[in-house]
Amino acid sequence: MTSKVLLITGGGGVGKTTLSAALAVTAARNGVRTLVVTIDPARRLATALGLKNLGSEPSPHKNEPNLWAAMLDASASWKAIAHRHAPADVADRLVDNPFFEAATQHFPASQSYASAEEMANYVETRAWDLVVIDTPPSAGGIEFFSAPAEMRDLVGGRLLRWLTGGALPGRRTLFTLTARPALRIAGAALGSDLLERVAEFLMDMRTMYDGLARRAVQIEQHFRDARTVVVTTADPAPLREAARFYRELPDRVPDPDAIVFNRVLPDGWHNPKPPTDGPLIENLVRWGAEAHRQTEVRKEFAALWKTDIATVPWRPKTPTTLDDLAALIAKAKGLNLERLGVVPQ
């Protein structure tokens, strides 16, 4: 048995975590053994998924037989990554090094890379039919897919420049260097032998290069085999992010398997004909106009990028139970659940 991978991506705050959970619950209820890996879910959503503790160890849901959930803990993942790719004594030294903390917490691609490497590990255990991966807010959609290459370049040499902001470290530049966020954090802990410690850290990181570079190639293969859902709303910033999947070079980003407009207002709200005036009537007319605008935005997007569009309705309350989540997908329109692996073919 091989696991299918479903990657849920899109701009910030569009509903990636919610829809990852919703698709996973739907899959589980259709008899698909499903693991959902979420990132920072709201507390009530985490509780509904049966996530009592932070941690990347998948836990089975006690009321939903085919559902497992895990929550990405990037810092713990990076410790495991160091132990996987560096010799044991170097890995021990690395994870205790404040620079390691700084680089793995603050380099933009590091959270995405941690989540991608966890994805590869889960898929390769073949314990699930479907692994649903929520992507980190920092990834901003397509950045998730370039994280393996970015990490490889970083460990392979760019780390020095990232730490120092381009300048080569020398005693005289120490003052300006220590103003850099990554070095400031480490500098406070390390004091005056900062430069020696930078050099030691860079050499330790370099021992990870071969392992990490090999893993990055395997992760990129998993990306190519995965199904990708791009979530957006009718608002300008997430729309621009979604459009990048069509604008950028096809070898850099996957062709989305679904474009999902989330928080969609009902079509039936277009052009309401209020009988009289008043604040409630004005409210009705405004929302009618917004529903109309959303429909036009979807039509434009579909025509411009020659793509089908799926919609998920805007629910009056935040979905927090498994039933709420399943209802989101039950009320969705235009989603091909077989293609996404959520319903068995």
Ligand X SMILES: Nc1ncnc2c1ncn2[C@@H]1O[C@H](COP(=O)(O)OP(=O)(O)OP(=O)(O)O)[C@@H](O)[C@H]1O
Binding site for Mg ion (CB under 5 A): 16-17
Q: How far apart are CA 218 and CA 160, in angstroms?
A: 26
315: left (phi over 0), alpha (psi -120 to 50) or beta: beta
The reply to whether 294 sits near ligand X by the rule CB under 6 A is no
Between 65 and 94, how does the x/- string for binding to ligand X read (CB under 6 A)?
Answer: ------------------------------
The reply to whether 228 sits near ligand X by the rule CB under 6 A is no
- Which entry of Mg ion, ligand X, none binds 294, CB below 5 to 8 A by partner kind? none
The reply to whether 17 sits near ligand X by the rule CB under 6 A is yes
Q: Each residue of 42-67: b (16+ CB within 10 Å) or e? A: eeebbebbbbeeeebebbebeebebb
**What radius of gyration do the chain's Cα atoms show?**
23
Return the residue of 197, 215, 222, 263 that touches ligand X, per CB under 6 A.
263
Return the residue of 15, 148, 187, 254 that touches ligand X, per CB under 6 A.
15
- For strand 310-313 and strand 258-264, is the pairing parallel, antiparallel, or unpaired? parallel
E strand intervals along the chain: 4-10, 34-38, 59-60, 67-71, 130-134, 227-232, 258-264, 310-313
Shortest gap between Cβ of 136 and Mg ion (angstroms)?
7
- How big is the site for ligand X, counted in residues (CB under 6 A)? 17
Interface of this chain with ligand X, residues 89 to 118, rule: CB under 6 A: none
Residue 230 φ/ψ, nearest 5 degrees: -105, 120
The reply to whether 314 sits near ligand X by the rule CB under 6 A is yes
227-232 sheet: strands from edge to edge: 59-60, 67-71, 34-38, 130-134, 4-10, 227-232, 258-264, 310-313
Nearer to ligand X among residue 17 and residue 146 (C-beta): 17
Specify the stretch interacting with ligand X by CB under 6 A; choose among 57-65, 147-155, 160-168, 308-316.
308-316
Nearest to 151 by CA among 85, 196, 248: 85
Place of tokens 């679904």: 258
The reply to whether 325 sits near ligand X by the rule CB under 6 A is no
Specify the stretch interacting with ligand X by CB under 6 A; choose among 6-14, 85-93, 99-107, 282-290.
6-14
Shortest gap between Cβ of 15 and Mg ion (angstroms)?
8
Interface of this chain with ligand X, residues 18 to 47, rule: CB under 6 A: 18, 42
Return the residue of 69, 190, 312, 342 that touches ligand X, per CB under 6 A.
312
To 5 degrees, how large is the angle CA 286–CA 292–CA 298?
135
Nearer to ligand X among residue 131 and residue 139 (C-beta): 139
Place of tokens 């209802």: 327
Shortest gap between Cβ of 233 and ligand X (angstroms)?
9
Specify the stretch interacting with ligand X by CB under 6 A; choose among 14-22, 73-81, 181-189, 216-224.
14-22
Q: How far apart are CA 159 and CA 264, in angstroms?
A: 43
Place of tokens 């966890």: 118
The reply to whether 238 sits near ligand X by the rule CB under 6 A is no
Shortest gap between Cβ of 22 and ligand X (angstroms)?
8
Nearer to Mg ion among residue 17 and residue 115 (C-beta): 17
The reply to whether 224 sits near ligand X by the rule CB under 6 A is no
3-state secondary structure of 131: strand
Nearer to ligand X among residue 194 and residue 260 (C-beta): 260
Asked if 224 contacts 196 with a C-beta cutoff of 8 angstroms, the reply is no
Nearest to 17 by CA among 241, 262, 184: 262
- Which entry of ligand X, Mg ion, none binds 146, CB below 5 to 8 A by partner kind? none
- Footprint of ligand X (CB under 6 A): 12-18, 42, 137, 262-263, 312, 314-315, 318-319, 328
